Chain A
């Protein structure tokens, strides 16, 4: 029973490893960014699940409610989501430029072209 209470971390770890696998094993640059995104989201889920309180409600003040989830991780993750999207936008812009310069967004083809030069 002790171990079952840790399942939220295991979901996070599995998601994180899926993202990690995509980042290192896939050659397509857009796919890599998607993997990075999944990795990020797993960290978000980790923080939010840390903030969860059994028997608590969402952190909006109500009459007669004394148990709330921790609002601080929520704030941090709000910031992190927006920053993550800004980073992804930057990465996608770089992908567009790579496509214009090399004519491909596959990692190994870019390496081949680099070797030829």
Chain B
């Protein structure tokens, strides 16, 4: 939470990137404490590793400093955020208690997965067996999304040679000069 507030204030984008990495690691630790070891591994690898590298690459291609803005708009934003937050906190009053064994999330599918999947699938890690079998279609969808994102990034950025050739061809187009 403190790191999140720091991210709001810090204007040096490099520092923001570092804070994002720290934030991801803290969230990963939180996931371990909440018994979600697989999720914590993924968050640490992807959030603290891959995301930081991606952001560093972007910053090196763009700019490192953020410009200062007028505060007029941010007061309005603060009001909107406070109202939304208050509404959400009001909504949580109806939620089940933290760690409650009688919560709806624990009574329907969870016993089925935790009791039957080790014998049905033969893998002790239930997260893996659910991911690969019961929810296999989801994982396929995830792979499709990653593929689409990779194709999208390649289309948006292009390869260096293609872009340089295009820049040379249409000189009168919008200025697409390479900053790198």
Contact = CB atoms under 8 A, between A and B. Distances in A.
B85 A50 contact: no
B131 A13 contact: no
A51 B98 contact: no
A62 B125 CA distance: 9
Contact of A70 (B78, B105, B135, B141): B105
Q: Report whether over half of chain A's contact residues are helix, strand or loop; otherwise say mixed.
A: helix
A10 B131 CA distance: 29
Contacts of A75: 127, 130-131, 135, 138
A97 B156 contact: yes
Q: Report whether over half of chain B's contact residues are helix, strand or loop; otherwise say mixed.
A: helix
A116 interface: no
Contacts of A85: 46-47, 50-51, 54
A110 interface: no
Q: How large is the interface on B (under 10, 10 to 19, 20 to 34, 35 or more residues)?
A: 35 or more
B61 A96 contact: yes
A67 B58 CA distance: 45
B27 A27 contact: no
Interface string A24-66: 1111101100110110010011001111111111111110000
Q: How large is the interface on A (under 10, 10 to 19, 20 to 34, 35 or more residues)?
A: 35 or more
A95 B74 CA distance: 22
Given A30-B13, A60-B125, A83-B145, A38 B7 contact: yes
Given A54-B99, A96-B58, A96-B157, A74 B85 contact: no
Nearest to B114: A68
A90 B78 CA distance: 28
Interface string B162-180: 0000000000001111110
Contact of A21 (B81, B88, B139): B81
A13 B114 contact: no
Contacts of B67: 27-28, 106, 109
A2 B13 CA distance: 42
Interface string A62-95: 1000011111111111110111011111101111
Interface of B: 1, 4-5, 7-8, 13, 16, 20, 23-24, 27, 30-31, 34-39, 42-43, 46-47, 50-51, 54-55, 57-59, 61-63, 66-67, 69, 73-74, 77-78, 80-82, 84-85, 88-89, 92-93, 95, 97-101, 103, 105-106, 109-110, 113-114, 117-118, 124-127, 130-131, 135, 138-139, 141-142, 145-146, 148-150, 152-153, 156-157, 174-179
13 contacts: A5-B97, A18-B7, A41-B23, A52-B36, A61-B118, A68-B35, A70-B113, A78-B42, A82-B146, A83-B142, A83-B146, A99-B179, A105-B62
